[in-house]
Amino acid sequence: MNVLNRRQALQRALLNGKNKQDAYHPFPWYELMRKDAPVSFDEENQVWSVFLYDDVKKVVGDKELFSSYMPQQTSSIGNSIINMDPPKHTKIRSVVNKAFTPRVMKQWEPRIQEITDELIQKCQGRSEFDLVHDFSYPLPVIVISELLGVPSAHMDQFKAWSDLLVSTPKDKSEEAEKAFLEERDKCEEELAAFFAGIIEEKRNKPAQDIISILVEAEETGEKLSGEELIPFCTLLLVVGNETTTNLISNAMYSILETPGVYEELRSHPELMPQAVEEALRFRAPAPVLRRIAKRDTKIGGHLIKEGDMVLAFVASANRDEAKFDRPHMFDIRRHPNPHIAFGHGIHFCLGAPLARLEANIALTSLISAFPHMECVSITPIENSVIYGLKSFRVKM
């Protein structure tokens, strides 16, 4: 199967799954698959799907058996470290890790709090607002813009690029797939040109931001090239935007739908880190990851052959009854909580510390600022690879 056909098969397989589930409540479908077909094969698209915790963790984390590499990727995200294997992955990850140390994250904490407070202030005095539009969307975009060293004036353009890069074709028709790929390729070109200019600027005039850190970073005498930096900047833009926005929105929805939790967190803000971890388990922003088998192997008694594509449903694994007690209950005191919302193994999400920091600050500040909050309405994101809300209206 060539690269284009493989990509189209993946999109169709994801659409097949999406068509069988409610956009914001796919959990009954996951439960059904865990019971009836925990390892299933899509004959039409030649794609495997796995749903149990141990199987998903193995597929996602075993670098000897499963690869993240997709040959001849054309997209910048496709060429980023999430789709690399060692040794190239090891080299680039060791460099970019320098931008996400606890010390670097600690330095950004006051600024994240400041941005959070400014956004909350704009919402105060209103009887109702859209938590996504007014808070959980602008916060991560402003933060990631400043972290990268990009003027926040580009925020709306960043959001448009980011949304397009994680979108999927409208349907399974060839026309829809062709239009989608053309639009995405144009977006990739615009982003590459944009970041190339920013990177050159930072080489000449470094500042206190992540791109400057990466430009200056050296590992075993090697610096990252522009060809390596641009895909990573694109990845960081998308992950730092989409994942954190949806983490905050999903967490607040889970808090509000569970009686007594909002009040408990207001009285005991020290529980927020556990609440964030439970939100990651309960409503993972990235519900599915893709891998390719490096050699013949067995999962759940099924032979997966070398070269086969596998979809690992992280959101299903995080509700596996064999791993979690009362998995369908949102329990902010859950311990232990070995969720794999950020992946597992060498591809564990690099931006996890930043996402956790933003979510903890955002949710603690929101609950502190508003004595009462309730959900008015939600509009789910219609996307098979991103799980979250397009709109989330709340009233005070």
Q: Which two tokens stand for residue 153?
A: 């004036």
3-state secondary structure of 378: strand
Q: Which two tokens stand for residue 252?
A: 């607040």
3-state secondary structure of 297: strand
Q: Which two tokens stand for residue 121?
A: 């202030």
pLDDT at 228 > cutoff 60:
yes
Residue 380 DSSP label: E
Q: What is the dihedral of CA 239, 164, 181, 150, to 10 degrees?
A: -70
d(CA 192, CA 177): 22
47 strand-pairing partners: 42, 309
| Stronger pLDDT, 192 or 282, i.e. the higher one | 282
* DSSP conformation letters of 137-175: THHHHHHHHHHHT--GGGHHHHHHHHHHHT---SSSSHH
- Domain count of the fold of the chain: 1
Which range, 175-179, 198-202, 219-223, is most confident? 198-202
Residue matched to tokens 């977006």: 187
The pTM is what?
A: 0.88
pLDDT at 91 > cutoff 80:
no
E strand or H helix at 289, and its extent? strand 288-293
d(CA 326, CA 154): 44
d(CA 70, CA 34): 27
pLDDT of residue 330: 99
Give the model confidence (pLDDT) of 160-181 as tens digits.
887 788 777 777 778 888 888 8
Other residues' Cβ atoms within 10 Å of the Cβ of residue 279: 26
| Stronger pLDDT, 82 or 197, i.e. the higher one | 197
3-state secondary structure of 377: strand
Give the model confidence (pLDDT) of 2-43 as tens digits.
444 555 555 555 555 555 568 899 999 999 999 999 999 999
Q: How many residues are given for the chain?
A: 396
3-state secondary structure of 68: coil
CATH number of the domain within which 241 lies: 1.10.630.10
d(CA 353, CA 276): 12
pLDDT at 83 > cutoff 50:
no
CB burial class (10 A; 0-12, 13-18, 19+) of residue 84? buried
Domain with 59 in it = 3-395
Q: Work out the average pLDDT over 265-280.
A: 99
pLDDT of residue 81: 42
Task: Give me the amino acid identity at 171.
Answer: D
d(CA 370, CA 396): 7
